[in-house]
Amino acid sequence: MAVKGNLRTPIVSVMGHVDHGKTTLLDKIRGSTVADGEAGAITQHIGATEVPIDVIVNKCGNPALRDKFIVPGLLFIDTPGHHAFTSLRSRGGALADLAIVIVDINEGFKPQTIESLQILKRFKTPFVVVANKIDRIHGWNPQRNMPFVASYNKQNERVKSELDRKFYEIVGELYNLGFNSERHDRINDFQRNVGIIPISAMTGEGIPDVLMVLLGLAQKFLEANLHYDANIPGVGTVLEVKEEKGLGTTIDVILYDGTLRKGDTIVVGSLGKPIQTKVRALLKPRPLTEIKSEEKFEQVSSVTAAIGVKISAPGLESALAGSPVRIATPETIDAITQEVQSEIEDVQIDTDSMGITIKADTIGSLEALVNELKKENIPIRKATVGDVSQRDVVEVAAIEDPFYAVIVGFNIKVLPDARDKVQDTNIRLFQNDVIYRLIDDYKDWVQEQKELAEKEMADTIIKPGRFQILPNCTFRQSKPAVVGVKIIGGVVKTNLDIMALDGTIVGRVKGLQSSGENISQAKVGMEVAMAIEGPTVGRQIKEGDTLFINVPERHAKRMENEINDSLTADELETLDAFLELKRRGNPFWAK
Ligand code: GDP
């Protein structure tokens, strides 16, 4: 491939919300260059498309710029989505050097737009925002493949101001997320401002600007990152693990440094021990002109970074998308295997002894999910790559704490036998392909469960109550004793035991009456008649005595530790007085 100096082609990823136009934009970048009669100039790689600098400067109508740029072109990863972005890693960073965040100008930001921006911020990846579908603005007069400003100037005033209005909504949304932004042609300093380019992926308007701004960003921010050495052993990242007819399991790889040859021994990350194998064939897509050929792929004997290539080799079945690919010699193989292993283990997350179980489709996305959960202080018991299996379900079903009998899965499937099993358990399963939705869903559920549990507890729990037997109000001595009482704290209900100040149980509340009516409870301040089963007035109880409702230890403990927020100040005070009496005999009571 063409290189200038020793800088490789920057790798570009397109991110954004579903349906906002990622695929259309990539198709346009590929297709329009073909339509311009430059078919030979763009190269279709495995999983990526390379647009050389010559094509870009021609499209922008300014070949004189050719010499201003030091990078040889742009390599677009064909799998769009923020998900692909996080999965594709190199040496712990993002594989993509640059990114495009696409947003439908008519719809504004959506969850995946926001998530893309957060991911880019975390990886410190330079990016540009494209505000897509400007051709949908009512009255838009399309100007195929023109640079944005030229097209804008051809629109009438009403259309222009409608575009401006929508555009500044996007500026506002970016501002709220902590980014200063401005239209790309008005920016002097891309370090301080994010460029927004209005485009139509459909008509091609603004696409020359996208290519230009990306080149500019590469030039400005990436020079140091793009140095590569064709003479070193190749280093890459697995894009996808794919079954191919006649070839068995193959891996699609983006090589970002060095050279890879047929016959090389490679080490590839896997779920278990790294795979050591020998490259049987290196495959590239067959050029469009030869599409009639039987073979889908063309064999090559070597490839040099940056490039997308398919590797056919034995034993790749357990290869892991997103993991490293390294070349080894007999001397280096042990060390390199170790390195690949530790690169993968690094993301196999230090877990907590108790917590939720998480699954994700690639190591990159697993790591992103773990990071976000940690930020929320949500403990993780186990974090692994892959679909939810029966084994996962069995393990999680054994967890007693319902808040942790939870599987949170990002972009994964639940295998059929696992799904059947889940239905027999009370495991809670969360699945989504937007990380922060997943986390929000889990948090909402936890909150809901807590509130439910509290409410249930508050309904059934025996609350503290303190009352005094009033003087000269004994209506009956015994069987049952009936006396007038005043509730001086908390609440008193029927069918509860009564405790004296020395801790003995003196009887049980049999009935309560107020103004001649039976009532089931009496609250602080009320004066009522109480029937007490057990004691005789003048023996076990006397007029003027202060008595407590006997709260069972388990209930006292819960009120003190778990639901004290839901108790009134008066109930808390009564509980404290009760606990003090209990703890005189046993300091650890209800602790
Ligand atoms: P993705 O899910 O982000 O890959 O979105 P797609 O590229 O599949 O686009 C979603 C829909 O929007 C498709 O029907 C596209 O034809 C349409 N679309 C994409 N870009 C444009 C555009 O610039 N203008 C118009 N009018 N439609 C577009």
- Architecture of the structural domain at 6-227: 3-Layer(aba) Sandwich (3.40)
Q: What is the CA radius of gyration of the chain?
A: 35
Q: Is 139 annotated as ligand-binding?
A: no
Please give the CATH topology (third level) of the domain spanning 235-345: Elongation Factor Tu (Ef-tu); domain 3 (2.40.30)
Burial of 556 (0-12, 13-18, 19+ CB in 10 A): buried
Which residue's CA is the nearest one to ligand 1's atom 6? 21
- 433 Cβ neighbours under 8 A, 6+ residues apart: 83, 410, 411
State which H helix or E strand residue 311 sits in: strand 307-312
Please give the CATH topology (third level) of the domain spanning 465-585: Elongation Factor Tu (Ef-tu); domain 3 (2.40.30)
Is this complex scored with an ipTM above 0.85? Answer: yes
> For each of the chain's 591 residues, which pLDDT tens digit applies?
444 457 899 999 999 998 999 999 998 988 754 444 444 467 788 888 888 888 888 777 777 777 788 888 999 998 777 667 776 767 667 889 999 999 999 999 998 898 889 889 888 899 999 999 999 999 999 999 999 999 999 999 999 999 999 999 999 999 999 999 999 999 988 888 999 999 999 999 999 999 999 999 998 888 888 888 889 999 999 988 888 988 999 999 999 999 999 999 999 998 778 999 999 999 998 765 555 556 778 899 999 999 999 999 999 998 888 889 999 999 999 999 999 988 776 555 556 778 899 998 877 788 888 888 888 889 998 888 888 988 899 999 988 888 899 999 998 999 998 998 888 888 999 999 888 889 999 999 999 988 888 777 777 889 999 999 999 999 999 999 999 999 999 999 999 999 999 999 999 999 999 999 999 999 999 999 999 999 999 999 999 999 999 999 989 998 888 888 888 999 999 999 999 999 998 888 988
Closest atom of ligand 1 relative to the 102 alpha carbon: 3
Q: How far is CA 64 from CA 33, 50, 56, 61, 207, in A?
A: 19, 21, 12, 9, 19
- For the Cβ of 24 lying below 6 angstroms from any atom of ligand 1, the answer is yes
Q: Is 433 annotated as ligand-binding?
A: no
460 CA from centroid of ligand 1 (Å): 56
Closest atom of ligand 1 relative to the 25 alpha carbon: 7
- For the Cβ of 136 lying below 6 angstroms from any atom of ligand 1, the answer is yes
Give dist(CA 6, CA 223) in Å, integer. 10
- 412 Cβ neighbours under 8 A, 6+ residues apart: 359, 360, 361, 386, 387, 388, 431
Q: State the pTM of this model.
A: 0.67
Q: Is 138 annotated as ligand-binding?
A: no
- For residue 361, what pLDDT is reported? 82
**Cβ atoms of residues 22 and 29 within 8 Å:** no
* Opening angle at CA 151, ends 146 and 157, nearest 5: 175
- For the Cβ of 469 lying below 6 angstroms from any atom of ligand 1, the answer is no
Q: Is 18 annotated as ligand-binding?
A: yes
Give dist(CA 425, CA 357) in Å, integer. 15
Q: Is 185 annotated as ligand-binding?
A: no
Q: How far is CA 525 from CA 36, 63, 90, 486, 532, in A?
A: 89, 91, 71, 7, 19
CATH number of 356-459: 3.40.50.10050
Which residue's CA is the nearest one to ligand 1's atom 16? 24
38 CA from centroid of ligand 1 (Å): 24
- 137 Cβ neighbours under 8 A, 6+ residues apart: 105, 106, 159, 162, 163, 166
Closest atom of ligand 1 relative to the 24 alpha carbon: 7
Q: Where in the chain is the domain with CATH 3.40.50.10050?
A: 356-459
Give dist(CA 76, CA 511) in Å, integer. 80
A 10 A CB-CB count for 27 gives: 15
Which residue's CA is the nearest one to ligand 1's atom 11? 19
Give pLDDT tens digits for 187-211. Answer: 988 888 999 999 999 999 999 999 9
Q: Where in the chain is the domain with CATH 2.40.30.10?
A: 235-345, 465-585
| DSSP letters spanning 319-337 | B-TT-EEEEE-TTTHHHHH
Q: What share of the chain is helix, strand, coil (3-state, %, to 5)?
A: 35, 30, 35
Which residue's CA is the nearest one to ligand 1's atom 22? 133
